[in-house]
Chains A and B, each alone.
Chain A
């Protein structure tokens, strides 16, 4: 039975994941298109009640995974990309509110503009920057000290951080590739020592219009 399951894992996972892209992880570089567009490639999304204020919710989105230490201070957000958290507060899997972020400036002098939460003009896969919503601008942090923006009970951050994700990706690839049949104990964290670009917002949960929420992150790009 174990052999059968392992064999199934190998065959199916190899077909499912594809043998050409082995850098897949939580969602890091999860398609050929996104491997070529790291600035729009979402690595992870986290949603949790604030450890410092139970009335607040914290939303995290990480992009551009696998930034090595040597490139920590020279990897930047793409001004052509709109980063969004979408929030469904009535259970229909359609966003009722969005929080948006987009960068202006260049290289080591970027500013991230956060808007919302606000109702979007268009739901679905084609979006625009919302107008007239609360905006907080914060300088992008390119170094170790996080620059935090705050307004009306909302805190925001944008910049390079340690990748919070952890996973023995190399062993997983060996298993999927048929080179191993079990994980090692202890495993080896493939994300140790690597960085991501992170967007973080903490805001009063009361702004989100419900207690049962569905959250997802999206990146959208200006089309030619």
Chain B
């Protein structure tokens, strides 16, 4: 309440931009009561720092020098900006140009597709227990049995049958 009073006091002196800064500083003031809105992110421009669509795609295919740019980009630009890098890597992994192009097209834009009329399972959505790494190693390395399966097939803790589905934390 005191905060609001202060802001009202300075309101006539400041433009809208400075008001927003004054009201939403980075000091991270705790709310007066749990659940109350005292968020520092309200009414502020927030810049994307990371994004995630398909598992491990950025990790495997995007060079370190471009990772921050990739993480800060919108997927609508992926085909134009990043697809050629994926094709190059796949061809370096031993795929011919046709299959490399086809797979790169399936992996861009970097979005997790799901058709709700079909059963869920990677690459149609992603379930918690889907072995996505082995699926992707298979896409990249085909029949090369040394490299197409990491032989870790399941999570270390059973998932829950009901919401929130993820297993409870490991605690000491």
Partners in one complex: yes
Q: Is the CB of B115 within 8 A of A157?
A: no
Q: Is the CB of A160 within 8 A of B52?
A: no
Complex Cα distance A127/B72, Å? 12
Q: Is the CB of A127 within 8 A of B151?
A: no
The contact string, 1 if C-beta is below 8 Å from chain A, for chain B 28-60, is: 101100111111111111111111110110111
Q: Is the CB of A48 within 8 A of B120?
A: yes
Interface size on A, residues (CB 8 A): 122
Whether a CB of chain B sits under 8 angstroms from the CB of A119 is no
Contacts of A220 in B (CB 8 A): 46-49
Q: Is the CB of A224 within 8 A of B116?
A: no
Q: Is the CB of A216 within 8 A of B75?
A: yes
Whether a CB of chain A sits under 8 angstroms from the CB of B12 is no
Complex Cα distance A124/B73, Å? 8
Q: Is the CB of B128 within 8 A of A200?
A: no
The interface residues of chain B, by DSSP majority, are classed as loop
Q: Given that A92-B76, A166-B155 are known contacts, is A5 also in contact with B144, CB under 8 Å in the complex?
A: yes
Contacts of B115 in A (CB 8 A): 211-213
Query: Which residues of chain A from 115 to 166 have any CB-CB distance to chain B below 8 Å in the complex?
Result: 123-129, 137, 139, 143-146, 148, 155, 157, 160-162, 164-166
CB closest chain-A residue, reference B117? A211
Query: Which residues of chain A from 18 to 69 have any CB-CB distance to chain B below 8 Å in the complex?
Result: 18, 20-21, 24-27, 30-34, 37, 40-49, 51-52, 57-58, 60-61, 67-69
Contacts of B171 in A (CB 8 A): 69, 72-73, 143-144
Q: List 15 A-B contacts (CB under 8 A).
A: A13-B60, A32-B64, A33-B71, A45-B55, A45-B112, A49-B116, A69-B170, A104-B38, A125-B74, A129-B41, A148-B164, A187-B151, A211-B117, A214-B111, A219-B48
Point out residues on B near A: beta carbons under 8 Å: 24, 26, 28, 30-31, 34-53, 55-56, 58-64, 67-68, 71-76, 78, 89, 92-94, 109-117, 119-120, 125-128, 131-133, 141, 144-147, 149-157, 159, 161-172
